[in-house]
Amino acid sequence: MRTFHVEIVKPSHYDRQGYVIQWWKACVPSNSMACLYAIAQDCADNKILGDDVEIEVRAHDEIATRLPIDDIAARITANGDSGVVCLVGVQSN
């Protein structure tokens, strides 16, 4: 059985030196992330990619945790799997 990975990432903000701004305790709910997670999980439950493809959904909030970039890349490329990384709640000026 093949696996399609959906990695949902809510990026944080960065300071002037380019370092990510993270908080020890953070409670900033993201409605966009919750909606996208629910849609992706519904797709997994309904097997929209076929019976031979399992969909795994993970959500990451960079405000509170360090992103496991190497782990995400390894999951998507392991064993001939595929996937997508979604950036959620991103605004560009």
For the chain, give the DSSP string.
Answer: -EEEEEEEEE---B-TTS-B---SS-----HHHHHHHHHHHHHHHTTTT-TTEEEEEEEEETTTS---HHHHHHHHHGGG-EEEEEE-S----
In a domain, 93, yes or no: no
Host domain of residue 81 = 2-87
In a domain, 53, yes or no: yes
In a domain, 7, yes or no: yes
In a domain, 79, yes or no: yes
0.85 surpassed by pTM = no
In a domain, 60, yes or no: yes
Closest CA to 40 of 86, 89, 91, 78: 86
Burial tier of 43 (Cβ tally within 10 Å: 0-12, 13-18, 19+): middle
Could you read off the pLDDT of 5-42 as tens digits, one per residue? 999 998 877 778 877 776 666 666 678 888 999 999 99
In a domain, 51, yes or no: yes
Q: Which residues pair with 84 in a beta bridge?
A: 6
Q: CA 88, CA 79: separation in Å to the nearest integer? A: 27
In a domain, 59, yes or no: yes
Per the structure, how many domains does the chain have? 1
In a domain, 92, yes or no: no
Could you read off the pLDDT of 43-89 as tens digits, one per residue? 999 999 999 999 999 999 887 778 899 999 999 998 889 999 999 87
